[in-house]
Amino acid sequence: MDKEKIIQELQFKAIRSGGAGGQHVNKVSSKVVLSFDVDSSEALTEQEKKRICLKLENRLTSDHFLLLQSDESRSQHKNKELVTERLLMLLENALKVSKKRIKTKPSGSAIEKRLKSKLMKSQIKSTRRKEKPDH
């Protein structure tokens, strides 16, 4: 994954941010929407593209565009930086290969401890029972 190439392939669109803010909010387009086309990206290998599509399938559009938006700051430039950072983090996390879990058996002492606690519980419960009268 080549970060510089990915940043060059990004498409940004500035739109008006919603919410409170008075008259200024109605004039300024500070919200930034980022779109990244995973399929046509030259910064990613075919294997990386498949992995991203698999891991981020719930965040991709039907034609494999990744859309992110930011309106945290009042500055369009700051929002652009934030959304670019977030995209790179998302892609890095999607491309991480997690280690296979190795199944292990419980140790002998753990098994012994469990059996002892079961025995103790059963003895405690057996003392609570009423004895049946002999007829």
Report all structural domains of the chain as residue ranges with CATH numbers, in order of start: 3-95 (3.30.160.20)
Q: Residue 135: its pLDDT value, please? A: 66
| Angle, alpha carbons 28-33-38 (nearest 5°) | 160
As a 3-state breakdown, the chain gives helix, strand, coil percent values, each rounded to 5, of 45, 15, 40
CA distance 21 to 95: 39
Please enumerate in sequence order all residues whose Cβ is within 8 A of that of 11, keeping only pairs 6 or more positions apart, or say none. Answer: 34, 35, 36, 37
**The overall pTM is greater than 0.85:** no
Tokens for 65, please give them. 């565009």
pLDDT digits (tens, 9 = 90+) for 7-36: 888 889 888 877 676 777 677 888 899 999
Report the mean per-residue pLDDT for the chain: 88
Q: Count the residues in the chain.
A: 135
